[in-house]
Amino acid sequence: MADQYVPALRWEEPPEGPVVVLLDQTRLPAEEVEVVCTDVPALVGAIRTLAVRGAPVLGLAGAYGVALAAARGFDVGEAARQLSGARPTAVNLRYGVDRAVRAHRAALADGADAAQAAATTLAEARALHREDADASARMAEHGRALLEELLPGGGLRLLTHCNTGMLVSGGGGTAFGVVRAVHHGGELRRLWVDETRPLLQGARLTSYEAAREEMPYSVLTDGAAGSLFAAGEVDAVLIGADRIAADGSVANKVGSYPLAVLARHHGVPFVVVAPVTTVDPATPDGAAIEIEQRPGREVTEIPVPAAPGLFPEETPAGVPVAPVGAQAYNPAFDVTPPELVTAVVTERGVVSPVTAAGLAELCSPSRPATSRSGNGMMNS
C-alpha cells in the first residue's frame, strides 16, 4: 500500500546529485507542487515557510537534510545547526538531525571516507523513515482492532480533527492512519472532517488525503460537530496528540477538548492515536503542559490566496474580518483530561482506561512488545 501514499518527503538521486523533494503543503489542496531542495539552506527555507510541517515528518526532514549535506560535501556540523534551528520548538526535527549526525560521526570515527560516511548517514535517515512508517502501520492495526472491539459490525462514522495523515508522517499517520485502515477494510461509512480553525488543516489537508484515498468524507465547521453527535451520526472520535502527560492528559490541536466533552455527553468513544514518543514522562499532568498562544491575526484575519503559501502557519497574511485593534484568544492546543479519553493507541498497543500506570508500562523500554496484560491494557 506504500505506493498509494502521497509522499510528504522523499530522497532522490538524479544525475545532477542527490536532492530532498517535498510536497509543498502550503499549496494544498489547490495544487500539488513539489519543492526540490539541493542544499540545506533550501530545506531550512521550506521548513520555515511550512512547506513541510508535522512532527514526525520534520524529524525525517532533519535526518535527510544532514544526509544531503554529507552527500554533497557540505559542512555537516553547520548543516545540523541550521536545520535544528529552523523551528526551535520542533523536538522531532532535532531528534532526526541528531540521529543522522551521530551516524555520520560514528562512520568517520570508524575510519570511513566521506562517501562511505555519507552513505551511512543516508542509511540512518532511511532507517528513521522506515521506523516511522512501521509505527504508523502498527498504530493503524491496533486502532482498527480497538474499533472492532468497541464498535463491532463496521459501517463506521468517524470524526477527526486537524491533520494526522501521510502529510505529517513517514507512513500512514496516526489517527488518519487508523481511519485509512478502517477504510481499506471496507468498514468506513463516513469520515467527518472538522475544518480546524484557524489554519484549516482539516479542510485543506485531511480532506485532501481523504479525497486521494477515495474515502466517503464531509467537511464541517468545528461548531457543527455538536449537531452530528446529537443526531447520532458519530460512532467514534479519532485524534492525534502533540504531547501526552504522564497522567494521560492529551494536548492536541485546539478544538479537541470540546469534542471530548461532546463525546462523553453522547457516550461516544474518544480515541487518541500517537506514537509512544509523544508520551512525556517529564510532564506530570495537564496543568504542567504549557500551551502556545498563537498570533491573534490567525483569528482576526482571513488568509488570502497567494503563491507560495496559501496558509503559512507562522506568518499568515490576510484580510481583516474583525475590527482594527480587536484582541483575539488563540491557543494552539487544548488539553483533554485522561478521564475523557477512552483509549490511547500507540505502536506498542492500546492503553484503556488511560491511567498513569498503564502509560508507564506501555512506554517502559523493557516491556515485551507482544504480551497482553490483564490490567486494562491491550497489547499485541
Q: Among all residues, which ones are annotated catalytic?
A: 242
Query: Least distance in Å: CB of 281 to a second copy?
Result: 23
- C-beta of residue 369 within 8 angstroms of C-beta of residue 263: no
Measured in whole angstroms, how far is the alpha carbon of residue 93 from the centre of its chain? Answer: 13
Q: For a second copy, which is the closer residue by CB, 103 or 254?
A: 254
Query: Least distance in Å: CB of 165 to a second copy?
Result: 13
Q: Cell for 141? A: 492495526
Query: Least distance in Å: CB of 180 to a second copy?
Result: 16
The Cβ of residue 252 has, within 10 Å, a number of other Cβ atoms equal to 27
Beta strand 250-253 with 270-273 is unpaired
**H/E run at residue 192:** strand 188-194
Q: Cell for 149? A: 472491539
Q: For a second copy, which is the closer residue by CB, 205 or 377?
A: 205
Q: How far apart are CA 14 and CA 346, in angstroms?
A: 37
Q: Cell for 176? A: 488518519
Query: Least distance in Å: CB of 339 to a second copy?
Result: 12
Identity (one letter) of the amino acid at 80? A
Closest CA to 312 of 83, 25, 6, 56: 25
- The C-alpha cell 486537524 sits at 162
Binding residues vs a second copy (CB under 8 A): 29-30, 192, 194-198, 200, 203-204, 207-208, 211, 217-228, 230, 254-255, 257-258, 261-262, 264-265, 291, 296, 299-300, 302-305, 310, 319-331, 334-335
Query: Least distance in Å: CB of 103 to a second copy?
Result: 39
Q: Which residues pair with 237 in a beta bridge?
A: 159, 270
Q: What's the CA dihedral at 49, 53, 59, 62 to 10 degrees?
A: -20
Residues 6+ apart with CB under 8 A from 33: 23, 24, 27, 308
H, E, C per residue of 129-171? HHHHHHHHHHHHHHHHHHHHHHCCCCCEEEEECCCCCHHHCCC
Q: Cell for 143? A: 486502532
The Cβ of residue 312 has, within 10 Å, a number of other Cβ atoms equal to 19
Q: For a second copy, which is the closer residue by CB, 2 or 326?
A: 326
- Backbone angles phi and psi of 67, in degrees to 5: -60, -35
- C-beta of residue 72 within 8 angstroms of C-beta of residue 65: no
Q: What is the DSSP string of 61-111?
A: HHHHHHHHHHHHT--HHHHHHHHHTTSTT-HHHHHHHHHHHHHHHHHHHTT
Q: Cell for 311? A: 496558509
